[in-house]
Structure formats: C-alpha cells, structure tokens
C-alpha cells in the first residue's frame, strides 16, 4: 500500500478522516508501524492526493488530518479491449492496468475463451472493485478504471466497437503479421489483446474490418499478463 485511499464515507470533514475498516487499519498498523504524529501519503478516491497526519490512534481506528492538493497521475490515453482471461490471471491483470493508468477496460468474448470464465465470481462488481483498488494503492492513483463486460463477440465488434474507437488509432496485438508494434506514441489508442490462444483468423478479420491494424511484438509469444505491461511500456 503505497498510498492510503480514502472514500467519501471516511471523511468527517473536508480536512479530516477516520479509518476503521480492518484491511486498511491493520495494514497501516502492522506494515507501516503507524503511530500518532506520523504522516502518510493519502488520496481521496476520485479526488486529489496529499498527506495525512495521524492525529488520533486507538486499538480500533485512526484519525487523519488531511492536506490534499495534488492531482492524481495523468491517465494513459488508451481503451484496452481484452479477451476475458483465466479467472486467476484476471485478478492480476485488473491490478496491473489500474497501477499503470489504464482507465477504460473492455472484457470481451472470443472463440478461445472458455464459457466457464464468464461464471467466475471475480467478475462480480465488488470483486472487480477490490482488485482495482489494490492496483491504485500500488500505483499511487485515485481514479478508478471503468470496466465493461461484452459476452458476445460479433455484436460488440460490429455494433459498438467502430463508434467506440472513432477518435483513436486502433491496434490489435497479433503475432502473425508483418507490422511491428509502434513505440512511444503520442496519440489516443484503442488496443485489442486476445486470449492465451490468440484471436482466430475470423476474429482478426472482423477487427480489421472495424478499423484495427494488427501488430506484432517480435518472435516471442507471451502470456497475456506479460504482454499487457510489455505493450503499455512500449507504447507509452
């Protein structure tokens, strides 16, 4: 936890907050060794970042005096379209995209996505929120990504995707193409990443028809959880 994230419900005034929930309170006490008089990096979810001075501390809660003046880090100008990964991988990816500044994630179906993946409890709103919060705490950010679920590939690509990507460059990661992925771009981007087995030819053709250009990352074939941070680091 590199930043203590506060909710509106934690605020007792614009400059004071009380933390009582077990996860944050235990972490601040046991990991950071907090005591009265300490100052920590604090951010208000959806708001600014600054400092929190521990004014009162007991066995059950701590009270912070706040000075929040700094805006959160600048988000990446990207819309990430990702074929739904395996549930255990999904949790790590949620944290990763939140840490790195992705603010719009679309989870889509694909031929290689097992139907059972859509039944995972990790797609419940509270479960998604929990992983995104962990990512924000790692990256010292306060702006939650928006996550959208699209269970039908063809209707999404034909009916929603063209309008969604209209003001962006659109790329799809695909190992079997001649075009190399660009580096250090300075324009808004829509990026599609397939499942472990990759998008099938039919899906690549549909994405191309919607406006996506296939690009490769070299000779190595990566896992999705490796490819995403690699792509974001290379692109931005």
> How much is the average pLDDT of 3-26?
96
Whether residue 118 sits in one domain with residue 192? yes
> How much is the average pLDDT of 111-137?
97
Of 38, 70, 102, the last residue of a domain is: 70
Whether residue 181 sits in one domain with residue 139? yes
Whether residue 87 sits in one domain with residue 65? no
Instruction: Give the pLDDT confidence score for residue 104 in this predicted structure.
Output: 98
Instruction: Give the pLDDT confidence score for residue 196 in this predicted structure.
Output: 84
The domain total for the chain is 2
Of 45, 70, 95, the last residue of a domain is: 70
Q: Sheet holding 189-193: strands in order across?
A: 146-150, 104-108, 78-83, 189-193, 169-173, 213-215
Whether residue 23 sits in one domain with residue 85? no
Whether residue 120 sits in one domain with residue 176? yes
Instruction: Give the pLDDT confidence score for residue 162 in this predicted structure.
Output: 95
Instruction: Give the pLDDT confidence score for residue 97 in this predicted structure.
Output: 98
Tell me how far apart the alpha carbons of residues 19 and 64 are, in angstroms, rounded to a whole number. 8
Whether residue 89 sits in one domain with residue 55? no
The residue range of the domain holding 83 is 78-235
Cβ neighbours of 74 (radius 10 Å): 9
CATH of the domain at 35: 2.40.240.20
pLDDT range class, residue 37, cuts 50, 70, 90: very high
Whether residue 87 sits in one domain with residue 62? no
Cβ neighbours of 140 (radius 10 Å): 17
> How much is the average pLDDT of 57-76?
96
Distance in angstroms between the alpha carbons of the first and the last residue of the chain: 25
Whether residue 230 sits in one domain with residue 180? yes
Where do we find the tokens 């919607």? 210
CATH of the domain at 200: 3.40.1280.10
Of 36, 51, 70, the last residue of a domain is: 70
């Amino acid at each position: 936890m590199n930043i203590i994230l506060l909710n509106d419900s934690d605020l007792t005034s614009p400059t004071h907050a009380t933390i009582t929930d077990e996860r944050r309170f235990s972490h601040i006490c046991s990991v950071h060794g907090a005591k009265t008089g300490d100052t920590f990096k604090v951010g208000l979810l959806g708001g600014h970042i600054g400092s929190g001075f521990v004014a009162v501390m007991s066995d059950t809660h701590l009270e912070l005096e706040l000075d929040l003046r700094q805006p959160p880090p600048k988000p990446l100008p990207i819309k990430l379209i990702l074929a739904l990964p395996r549930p255990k991988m999904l949790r790590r990816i949620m944290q990763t995209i939140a840490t790195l500044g992705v603010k719009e994630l679309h989870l889509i179906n694909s031929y290689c996505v097992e139907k059972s993946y859509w039944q995972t409890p990790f797609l419940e709103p509270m479960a998604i929120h929990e992983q995104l919060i962990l990512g924000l705490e790692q990256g010292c950010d306060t702006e939650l990504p928006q996550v959208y679920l699209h269970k039908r590939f063809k209707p999404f690509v034909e009916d929603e995707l063209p309008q969604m990507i209209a003001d962006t460059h659109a790329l799809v990661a695909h190992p079997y193409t001649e075009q190399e992925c660009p580096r250090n771009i300075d324009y808004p981007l829509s990026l599609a990443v397939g499942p472990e087995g990759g998008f099938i030819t039919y899906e690549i053709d549909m994405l191309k028809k919607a406006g996506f250009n296939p690009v490769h990352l070299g000779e190595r074939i990566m896992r999705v959880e490796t490819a995403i941070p690699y792509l974001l680091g290379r692109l931005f």
